[in-house]
Amino acid sequence: MSGELTQSVIKRIIRQVGLECSARGQSLSETLVAFMMKAVVLDPRNDFNMDRLHTEKDMQDLIQLCVTRLLDTTNPSLSTIKMQVYFDMNYANRDELLSEQERVLEGKLAPVVRAITERGPHGQEETENVYQKMVTYALLRSGLGSPTDVEAIREVTAALQSVFPQTEMITFISLSKKDKEQQLKDLAMLVTGIRLYNKQCQKGGSGIDDLPDILHEAIPSAAQTLDKHLNCCQLLAHRYTALLESMQEDSPRSSQLRTSKLKEALFSVRQYEAFLCILQSNAITSAQEVESLDVKFEAAMIALKNTMQDKTSIESKEVFPLFMELAKLWTGYQNEMLLLSFLTNMAENLQQFLEIQSYLFPGEMLTSLLEGVTVKSDEERIKETMETRVNVSDFENQEWLFPETTDNFGQLLIQYRGFCAHSIGVKGIILPGNPAIGILKHKEKYYVFSSKEAAYLFAQDPDKFIQLNVEKAKKYAELIQLLELHHQFEYLVPHAQIRNAKKDLMKPPPKCDSGTQTDTHILPPTIVRSYEWNEWELRRKAIKLANLRRKLTHSMQTNLSHMRRENFTQVYLPKDVGTQTKHDNSSNVPKPQIFLQGLRGGSSPTTHMVTVDLTRPLDET
């Protein structure tokens, strides 16, 4: 049967099983149905394989087997599989959960961001509308208050106007779309920091919850609840384990209870314990993160108060980074609230999968069956075997690791989630392994054991016991995830494909629907604005440049501008240069008055002429 046919048949079976269960009042997810079909195929008791899907009868048999298993509400194995499917589909680590939350927030804010960044306003009224949308964006981005809270809107508007007045909208409009989005995020963080500072100064803070105090109360409460659930399930696992061990030795006690049901109940409790340990580890990480945030937030608030110091004005480069740091730390508090709520919901929802335990094995029944049986905890079992150790000289071709001779001993990746590698396949029960006995390294994998005897038996033929564990996981499909055996069951390949593998019969390549979207202009424009096609325009520019070459450039620097910046001045001198001056001068000197006497003659025939100088002296003028 080809790979394409196999995939189509599997999808058909899953769909048909889902419809059958829905008709009988059980609405199940396709993931759960697919996992159950895998469990039915793997179970050797069903004597089933994928090559038998040639006729309609074969498919109907598989469908009926799956429906029967899925509708058996008294089966602990089904509850365990449901719990595993639920955890796989809903659990996410810190990074995944926070990134998903950021993606959801970006999706909710996308319409507001588009309304602000895609096109610029063309009038005063549109500019005011865009500015009001920026206020809404800052409020929604911070998560501090409701958009319907008038007091919160007033605080956000005042904070935004203090760092980004409406007159700055002209500059904002000229930015590119990417720069607008980045500035929006920065403004939202600044507004958040300002509101937090005002709340600390008791000058505002409408709609802002005291997240640090809430977390200080909620985290210990959640940790206490997880510890309570963990202790209960561990006690139940210890009692189931002790009862199974006693049933293997005492046949009358075994006749009172079905061993297979009890084993399935033990696997279910151990799986629940593993999930609770994961949630508890996350709660511890959250508590540590909150302690770190408390120290950083207090330090940032003190630094901000010292910087402000009742000043009426302060440079933005000094105070803006402090506001943004305050907003970033508050986002950390909000993330921890989200994570804590997620962990609490997960713990509550996982609890429902253990309800069948009290129905199948009531406390009174267990108490009566455990009369005369010693119930040991995991710690007590490990403590009993602390003094026993494998003798390395008894094994020539086996490598054993011990704490005092191995670097990073506690960080080794132990197989089967740290449970005994021998008891799983041989006894069908899960016992905690003790690394102090010795860790067996076999084919680059590490195995631990519950006792020295179990270690010796396993080391004689490791491959045999590993295969026994695989067969046990085929019988109890929930062990695949509990013991982390996914590498043993990666694909359900039909036997016909295995036989024809040498004939280049390969699986069809995986396919998926995908799409991409890019901005209209992701690169800056390459239009040369200085290009001219007109020859006469080019000549005009050339004449202008030639004229500039004959000009002089002067610069001047004074004591006030020294070491500050360079100043340049360029002027055009007049073409014709000329000078015209006028000089008037005068002096005041005596006017010469000289007379001649005797020019007319007289009685004597000889003329006697006398010169008479009547000019006034120079000092009298």
What are the pLDDT digits (tens) for 464-483? 999 999 989 888 889 989 99
DSSP class of residue 410 equals G
Q: Is the pLDDT of residue 289 over 90?
A: yes
- State the average pLDDT over residues 429-457: 92
419 bridge partner residues: 432
Any long-range contacts for 313-322 (C-beta under 8 Å, 24+ apart)?
316/163, 320/163, 320/190, 322/193
Q: Are 434 and 442 in contact (CB under 8 A)?
A: no
Of the candidates 212, 351, 350, 219, the one whose C-alpha atom is nearest the C-alpha of residue 284 is: 219
- State the average pLDDT over residues 156-181: 88
DSSP class of residue 378 equals H
Of the candidates 324, 443, 436, the one whose C-alpha atom is nearest the C-alpha of residue 382 is: 436
Q: How sure is the predictor about 567, in pLDDT bands with cuts at 50, 70 and 90? A: low
What are the pLDDT digits (tens) for 414-430? 999 999 999 998 988 99
d(CA 393, CA 56): 60
Residues 6+ apart with CB under 8 A from 254: 247, 248
- For the chain, the first-to-last Cα distance in angstroms comes to 145
- Kindly report which listed range (153-167, 221-235, 550-564) carries the lowest average pLDDT score: 550-564
> Domain extents for the chain?
1-71, 119-201, 211-370, 378-497
**Encoding tokens for residue 261?**
């049901």
Q: Is the pLDDT of residue 261 over 60?
A: yes
pTM over 0.75: no
Of the candidates 155, 163, 161, the one whose C-alpha atom is nearest the C-alpha of residue 208 is: 155
Residue 109, judged by CB atoms within 10 A of its CB (0-12, 13-18, 19+), counts as middle
List, as one string, the DSSP characters of 546-597: HHHHTS-EE----TTTTTT----EE-PPPS--------------PPP-EEEE
DSSP class of residue 427 equals T
Q: Are 399 and 412 in contact (CB under 8 A)?
A: no
Q: Is the pLDDT of residue 495 over 70?
A: no
Which CATH class, in words, describes the domain spanning 211-370? mainly alpha
DSSP class of residue 204 equals -
- Kindly report which listed range (387-396, 451-460, 545-554) carries the lowest average pLDDT score: 545-554
The total of other beta-carbon atoms located within 10 Å of residue 101's CB is 16
Q: 268 — phi, psi (to 5°)?
A: -65, -45
Averaged pLDDT of the chain: 83
**Encoding tokens for residue 121?**
């306003």
- State the average pLDDT over residues 172-179: 87
- Kindly report which listed range (62-66, 175-179, 315-319) carries the lowest average pLDDT score: 315-319
